[in-house]
């Protein structure tokens, strides 16, 4: 179990690092110029370095640990500000939020000022793995915690529901038995966990189910499920990449990157789910060796995963959050 907690966090990191060098490339350009991405490629900050996906996941994990497992929006704001580093490729919304927070704008108000009705980017989903593992035994509490951590940056319901769906997928993979795993059952259970309001995601998951044997037709998958940074056009895609390659952490990530577009985030989300199923030992050693170390590096992420596991084990997580909201 501890290896699977760590696997979800490290899975985010590995996917982020693997996908980042080709972020923004089309699937056809990746196919034409590289064939596939199966190795950690050279990158601006070095091979195996991560971007905002992992940095914000680390901040969320640290915040949960500092607050006894609860999501505390004001604490998250402080930690997001502390880790913010423009070299790590943040989304446009995040750059603006940092400035609004600096000006003293309260977090709920600041998040509503982004785009039209708040961001529906995948930024709240890409970082959510720590919530998925900590709350994996209580779907209601998990949903509320995932939504609350999303609201800090993503005021649009699609951004919040996407984060909740990704957390549900991580939790379900953590609970699954690899020996009896069934992609169809996984999808059915996931759909059943969604509230009625998450209609966009329910439809996307049904679509993903219909396409399970069509994964080699990348043009079709990208057209139907999406590969950009809108949450509803990437979270279902990441779940799809996991499901069509559920037997192998490596194959799932290589496939997620092969879809092009928001490759670091697609692979980070696929990696979190696959890592929760297979555990950290499923990370190929050549990828493991390449991962960035030092402050907030690989070994610290492992420690965070272990500490969240300890928190879950000793505190028996499953209690409802007091200040949670299901008003989507």
3-state secondary structure of 176: coil
Out of 11, 48, 89, 130, which residue is the one contacting ligand RVK (CB under 6 A)?
Answer: 89
- Contacts to ligand RVK from residues 262-281, by CB under 6 A: 262, 264-265
Residues paired with residue 26 on neighbouring β-strands, in sequence order: 260
CB of 81 to ligand RVK, least distance (A): 14
Q: Is the dihedral of CA 289, 291, 292, 297 positive or negative?
A: negative
Q: Map residues 105-124 to x or -, x wherever contact with ligand RVK holds by CB under 6 A.
A: ---------xxxx-xxxxx-
Q: From the list ligand RVK, Mg ion, none, which binds 48 (C-beta under 5 to 8 Å, kind-based)?
A: none
Q: Which of 6, 25, 53, 305 binds ligand RVK (CB under 6 A)?
A: 53
| Spatial distance between the Cα atoms of 82 and 59, rounded to a whole number of angstroms | 9
Measure the N-to-C terminal CA separation of the chain; round to a whole number of Å: 32
The enclosing H or E element of 121 equals: none
Q: Please report whether residue 51 would count as binding ligand RVK according to CB under 6 A.
A: yes
Q: Where are the beta strands (DSSP E) in the chain?
A: none
**Which positions lie near Mg ion, rule CB under 5 A?**
51-53, 89, 262, 264-265
CB-based contacts of 70, cutoff 8 Å, min separation 6: 64, 145, 321
What span, in angstroms and rounded, lies between the C-alpha atoms of 110 and 114? 7
Taking the complex as a whole, the smallest distance from the CB of residue 205 to ligand RVK amounts, in Å, to 20
Q: Which of these ranges, 27-35, 85-93, 188-196, 307-315, lies near ligand RVK under the rule CB under 6 A? A: 85-93
- For ligand RVK, the binding residue among 4, 151, 156, 278 (CB under 6 A) is 156
Residues contributing to the site for ligand RVK (CB under 6 A): 51-53, 89-94, 114-117, 119-123, 156, 229-230, 262, 264-265
């Amino acid at each position: 179990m501890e290896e699977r907690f760590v696997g979800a966090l490290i899975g985010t990191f590995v996917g982020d690092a693997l996908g980042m060098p080709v972020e923004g490339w089309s699937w056809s350009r990746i196919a034409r110029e590289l064939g596939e991405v199966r190795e950690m490629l050279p990158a601006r900050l070095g091979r195996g370095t991560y971007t905002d996906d992992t940095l914000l996941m680390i901040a969320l994990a640290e915040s949960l640990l500092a607050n006894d497992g609860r999501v505390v929006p004001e604490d998250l704001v402080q930690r997001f500000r502390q880790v913010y580093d423009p070299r790590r490729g943040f989304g446009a919304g995040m750059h603006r939020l940092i400035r609004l927070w600096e000006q003293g704008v309260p977090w709920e108000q600041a998040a509503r000022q982004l785009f039209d009705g708040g961001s529906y980017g995948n930024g709240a989903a890409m970082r959510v793995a720590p919530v998925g593992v900590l709350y994996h035994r209580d779907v209601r509490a998990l949903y509320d915690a995932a939504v609350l951590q999303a609201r800090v940056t993503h005021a649009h319901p699609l951004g919040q529901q996407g984060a909740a769906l990704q957390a549900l997928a991580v939790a379900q993979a953590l609970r699954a038995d690899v020996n009896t795993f069934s992609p169809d059952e996984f999808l059915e259970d996931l759909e059943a966990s969604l509230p009625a309001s998450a209609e966009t995601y329910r439809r996307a998951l049904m679509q993903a189910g219909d396409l399970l044997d069509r994964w080699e037709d990348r043009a079709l998958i990208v057209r139907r499920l999406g590969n950009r940074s809108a949450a509803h056009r990437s979270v279902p895609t990441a779940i799809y990449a996991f499901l069509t390659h559920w037997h192998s952490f490596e194959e799932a990530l290589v496939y997620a990157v092969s879809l092009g577009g928001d490759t670091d985030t697609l692979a980070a989300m696929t990696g979190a789910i696959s890592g929760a199923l297979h555990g950290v030992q499923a990370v190929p050693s050549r990828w493991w060796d390449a991962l960035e170390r030092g402050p907030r590096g690989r070994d610290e992420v492992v420690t965070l995963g272990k500490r969240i596991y300890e928190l879950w084990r000793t505190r028996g997580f499953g209690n409802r959050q007091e200040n949670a909201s299901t008003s989507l």
